[in-house]
Structure 1
Amino acid sequence: MARPEPWQLIAENYPVSVVMQTRFQDIDPNRHLNNVAFAALFENARVRLNRNLRPWADRPRNERSMIAAVTINYLREGQYPDDVEISSGVSRIGRSSYVITQAMFQNGQCIATCDSTIVCRTDGQGKPLRQEVIEELEKMRTNGKP
């Protein structure tokens, strides 16, 4: 497993940040946040980022965006009931896909990172991203290098 880049561990390198509560049901037998809780928290923050992309609201009915891959790096144990802050941004924009990069912070430390590859499909086939979508994705760029 590749380690996260140093820039990914700094909250200020992401354009969007949201604080989320952890739940009692998120803990494992060791009383730490379980891996499914990490995935769900990252998913909620990723959805919020996507909702900020205005062109998606009026996209053609035959256009879909789908998750192609998700990679989570667990760096430290998460604790209940402490809140987490999830910072998100777009780290890569390809011809028909883009990558949302995220970092989860708790009590001032990065406890996990997540990269999600999103692909655009039109009529069931991979198609290039529309120019207006690319322009909105550019506004959500991280300050890191990929």
Structure 2
Amino acid sequence: MPKPAAWRLDVETYPFAERVTTRFQDLDPHGHINNVAMAAIFENGRVRFNRNFVHHKVAGQRWLVAAVAIDYVEEAHFPADIVVSTGVGTIGQRSWTLLAGAFQNGGCVATCDATLVISGAEHNRAIGPDLRSALEGLRLREPA
């Protein structure tokens, strides 16, 4: 599996950041943050990011996580906090991808791509214009 692109490893790439406190219980037998804890850390960052857009939901819509992929770059350790930085990747008709990086002590320790999809009644499964505009405003673009 190739390493994430260099631009994904730069905290300045992302428009939104959320500080997450690590916990002693997050450690694995080797003394670093375990995979399940890292997934929860990314989940916390993703939920905090999405809360910015809740007012754009249409009645009866649900936003569901359809896929999550985490790439581990370095070991993360307790007790230092992790900053989860997030931006929007692709935007489709009824789904969007969030791209995130987890940063600890100035370096990227992991990246996460999560695809969210809108579910609900047939007539309200599309991304509405207000939500699309808000997502576009936080979109990441790979540097040329």
TM-score norm. by structure 2 comes to 0.92
The 8 Å contact of residues 33 and 75 in structure 2, kept in 1 or not, is answered as: yes
Equivalent residue for 1:94, pick from 83, 89, 92: 92
- Deviation by residue 1:31-82 (Cα, 9 ceiling, x = unmatched): 11000110011000101110112xx235333111100000000111111111
Q: Does 1:15 align with 2:18?
A: no
Give structure 2 stretches of 5+ with no counterpart: none
Correspondences of 1:1-146 after superposition (within 5 Å): 1-53=1-53, 56-57=54-55, 59-123=57-121, 127-144=125-142
Moved over 6 A (4+): none
The amino acid that maps onto 2:3 is R
1:33 maps to a residue whose letter is I
C-alpha separation in 2, matches of 1:111 and 1:21: 15
Q: Does the 8 Å contact 1:96/1:126 carry over to 2? A: no
Structure 1 spans left out of the alignment, 5+ residues: none
TM-score normalized with structure 1 length: 0.90
What is the RMSD computed on CA atoms of the aligned residues? 1.7
| Preserved contact between residue 81 and residue 104 of structure 2 (Cα < 8 Å) | yes
Residues matched between the structures, number: 143
User: Kindly, what percent of the aligned residue pairs are identical?
Assistant: 41
